[in-house]
Chains A and B, each alone.
Chain A
Amino acid sequence: GAGVSQSPRYKVAKRGQDVALRCDPISGHVSLFWYQQALGQGPEFLTYFQNEAQLDKSGLPSDRFFAERPEGSVSTLKIQRTQQEDSAVYLCASSLATGGGAGKLFFGSGTQLSVL
């Protein structure tokens, strides 16, 4: 595709609902990252995949957050029992390389999650 695609673009959830956010990375990109960006803040790292392996999930704020990338391509970030503090823009990024080349990330447009 032309770039990293994320859906939905906007999501409004009632507190306590489960949500699933989708990321379609650039074809062939090995590395995939999820970031959370609260209003007025920089992107905060959530988790990292290399192909289908989740190599780093140190940024996931609680066990309500779960991410998967079962076939090494599309990834889903799931948030269970959403809370108001989960309201943020969730960014997905992919990178062709690992190691030294992994710093060049291609970002999606993000999913803006609002929890009421």
Chain B
Amino acid sequence: AQRVTQPEKLLSVFKGAPVELKCNYSYSGSPELFWYVQYSRQRLQLLLRHISRESIKGFTADLNKGETSFHLKKPFAQEEDSAMYYCALRGGATNKLIFGTGTLLAVQP
């Protein structure tokens, strides 16, 4: 079965500190992984996806198939990074995304 696990409900860091939001997935084939973000009073929106291998707003994520992980990282957190972050998985022929339960990132000044 396809499943996405985000073990932390809340991650609180100080401005300038490194950030790592954890995501583990369960899928037997070759998955597509995504990070979506929801800022306060805004819509859920795509942050990045593993196939693009891009860095968005200083965030990166590397797919580790051996550890079935897709952790989101940023070397220096900023206050405007405070938001809800969701990891999502798309596997096989289906077009649906399976979301994790989300991690609230709070960046303290």
Contacts and interface: CB of A to CB of B under 8 A. Distances in A.
Interface of A: 3-4, 31, 33, 35, 40-45, 48, 50, 55-56, 59, 91, 93, 95, 98-100, 102-110
A91 B96 contact: no
A106 B43 CA distance: 9
Nearest to A104: B46
B86 interface: yes
Interface of B: 4, 6, 9, 32, 34, 36, 43-46, 49, 51, 86, 88, 90, 94-102
Contacts of A45: 96-98
B96 A108 contact: no
Given A107-B43, A107-B45, A108-B43, A44 B94 contact: no
A84 to B, nearest CB: 21
A95 B102 CA distance: 22
Contact of A109 (B6, B43, B88): B43
A100 B32 contact: yes
Contacts, number: 63
A56 B96 contact: yes
Given A42-B86, A43-B86, A100-B32, A105 B97 contact: yes
A31 B49 CA distance: 18
Given A102-B90, A107-B43, A44 B99 contact: yes
Contacts of A50: 95
B44 A43 contact: yes
Given A104-B46, A107-B43, A33 B86 contact: no
Contacts of B94: 48, 56
Given A40-B9, A107-B45, 20 more contacts: A3-B43, A33-B96, A35-B99, A42-B4, A42-B6, A42-B86, A42-B99, A42-B101, A45-B97, A48-B96, A55-B95, A91-B44, A98-B95, A100-B51, A102-B95, A103-B32, A104-B49, A105-B46, A107-B44, A110-B43
